[in-house]
């Protein structure tokens, strides 16, 4: 499988990586098999996170005996220092390894959080640096969903990689973010290559991304058949036919008008409604186990908040993609009520 240099990390990673979110839905034995199939196909880049419940532990079991053949990337939310230190130790333990190849700040979407991370006195970045010196982590990266924050993160020069959503619907990174990463020699990791499960034509999605020779994609994989299919696209001819281009345009026109890019330009909402999180709910339902999005935590909290929307419409005036936010919030909320009812029977 073709490899690329992941920016200044110098890591030679396969263009196709493995996203560790969906294996949470499987049994442990199934999850281990899926990860091992990826390794057998030559995939050498695995992404997971402290927040993905069983994912790290299952990956740890799957790579046993093959640890040095694979790069493992994981991440922690940028909470307080104590939490970050604990999460790092927990990741090492769950992955059953004494080093993490790439350790990332998870989902840094605003300047306040970025400034808190980089605070020279007691920023969280210092914890990562200390861990790097101690050999617990080898490289430092960051992940984001918000374009302005992501560009600022790249410009700091403090991170070796960035992970950002990129697919033919959310194609904005091709214009500025990716060229900026190249300028700073930063690795670009593609999250949501299938638009978080909203796009079901894998051939189109990966052929689109294969036009960019220096990005690594990490589709979430749940079935052996899925990784086999995607690996075949990577190994096959990458040229996009005119029929495929037309189909991409059709899908962009159709979905593009109803697809939240999580850019956050619609904020602030006077009612404190986490709009993008609510709009992304259908994608959580497609990819995650019900316990993850129904029990405790920030998702059910956000979904309950949806009921407080006064339908003032201010958010819609600010959305650069002209999304019918009020209508989409209602649809997401109704889906939430349906899955909640189905899972509490």
Q: Which stretch binds ligand SF4 (CB under 6 A): 164-172, 221-229, 256-264, 287-295?
A: 256-264
Task: List CB contacts of 326: < 8 A, sequence separation 6 or more.
Answer: 309, 311, 313, 315, 316
Query: Does 305 contact ligand SF4 by CB under 6 A?
Result: no
Segment contacting ligand SF4 (CB under 6 A): 115-123, 200-208, 234-242, 259-267? 259-267
Measured from the CB atom, is 212 or 321 closer to ligand SF4?
A: 321
Closest by CA to 20, choosing from 34, 41, 9, is 34
First-to-last alpha carbon distance for the chain, in angstroms, is 46
Q: Which of 77, 99, 212, 321 binds ligand SF4 (CB under 6 A)?
A: 321
CA dist., res. 68 & res. 44, Å (int): 10
CA distance 284 to 266: 21
Give the one residue of 63, 315, 333, 336 binding ligand SF4; rule: CB under 6 A. 315
Distance CA 66, CA 307 (A): 49
Contact flag: residue 212 with ligand SF4 (CB under 6 A): no
Q: Which SS3 state, helix, strand or coil, does residue 32 take?
A: helix
Nearest approach in angstroms of CB 274 to ligand SF4 is 9
Q: Which of 314, 327, 334, 338 binds ligand SF4 (CB under 6 A)?
A: 314
d(Cα 102, Cα 270) in Å, to the nearest integer? 38
Q: Is 147 in the site for ligand SF4 (CB under 6 A)?
A: no
CB neighbourhood size of 39 (10 A): 16
Q: Is 311 in the site for ligand SF4 (CB under 6 A)?
A: yes
- Residues with Cβ within 8 Å of 19's Cβ and at least 6 positions away in sequence, in order, are 47, 191, 218, 219, 220, 221
Considering the rule CB under 6 A, would residue 309 count as an interface residue with ligand SF4?
A: yes
- Size of the chain, expressed as the number of residues it contains: 345
Tell me, what DSSP letter sits at residue 102? E
Question: Per CB under 6 A, which region of 6-14, 155-163, 223-231, 262-270 contacts ligand SF4?
Answer: 262-270
Helix, coil or strand: residue 320: coil
**Looking at 81-89, 114-122, 232-240, 263-271, which segment touches ligand SF4 (CB under 6 A)?**
263-271
Measured CA to CA, the distance from residue 317 to residue 228 in angstroms comes to 43
The least CB distance from residue 256 to ligand SF4, in Å, is: 10
Which of 123, 231, 264, 302: binder of ligand SF4 (CB under 6 A)? 264
Q: Minimal distance in Å, beta carbon 196 to ligand SF4?
A: 13
DSSP count for the chain of H helices, then E strands: 16, 10
Residue 10 makes contact with ligand SF4 by CB under 6 A: no
Q: Which is nearer to ligand SF4, 72 or 266 (CB)?
A: 266
Q: Which of 177, 209, 275, 277 binds ligand SF4 (CB under 6 A)?
A: 275
Q: Does 276 bind ligand SF4 (CB under 6 A)?
A: yes
| Residue 302 binds ligand SF4, judged by CB under 6 A | no
Residues that bind ligand SF4 (CB under 6 A): 260-266, 269, 271, 273, 275-276, 279, 309-315, 319, 321, 323, 325-326
């Amino acid at each position: 499988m073709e490899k690329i240099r992941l920016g200044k990390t110098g890591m030679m990673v396969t263009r196709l990586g493995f996203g560790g979110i969906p294996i949470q839905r499987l049994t442990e034995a199934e999850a281990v098999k899926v990860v091992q199939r990826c390794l057998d196909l030559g995939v050498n880049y695995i992404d997971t996170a402290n927040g993905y419940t069983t994912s790290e532990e299952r990956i740890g079991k799957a790579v046993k005996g093959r640890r040095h053949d694979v790069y493992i990337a994981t991440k922690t939310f940028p909470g307080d220092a104590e939490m970050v230190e604990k999460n790092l130790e927990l990741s090492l333990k769950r992955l059953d390894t004494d080093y993490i190849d790439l350790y990332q700040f998870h989902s840094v979407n605003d300047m306040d959080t970025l400034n808190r991370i980089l605070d020279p006195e007691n920023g969280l970045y210092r914890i990562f640096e200390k861990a790097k010196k101690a050999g617990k982590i080898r490289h430092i990266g960051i992940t984001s969903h918000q374009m302005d924050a992501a560009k600022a993160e790249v410009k700091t020069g403090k991170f070796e990689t960035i992970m950002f959503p990129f697919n033919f619907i959310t194609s904005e990174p091709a214009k500025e973010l990716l060229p900026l990463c190249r300028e700073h020699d930063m690795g670009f990791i593609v999250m949501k290559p299938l638009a978080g499960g909203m796009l079901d034509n894998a051939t189109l999605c990966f052929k689109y991304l294969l036009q960019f020779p220096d990005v690594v994609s990490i589709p979430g994989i749940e079935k052996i058949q899925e990784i086999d299919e995607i690996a075949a696209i990577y190994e096959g001819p990458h040229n996009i036919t005119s029929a495929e281009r037309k189909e991409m345009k059709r899908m962009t026109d159709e979905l593009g008008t109803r697809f939240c890019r999580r850019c956050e330009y619609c904020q602030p909402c006077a009612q404190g409604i986490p709009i993008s999180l609510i709009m992304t709910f259908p994608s959580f339902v497609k990819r995650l186990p019900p316990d993850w999005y129904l029990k405790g935590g920030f998702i059910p909290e956000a979904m309950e908040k949806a009921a407080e929307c006064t339908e003032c419409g201010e958010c819609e005036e600010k959305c650069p993609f002209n999304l019918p936010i009020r209508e989409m919030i209602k649809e997401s909320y109704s889906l939430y009520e349906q899955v909640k009812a189905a899972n509490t029977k």
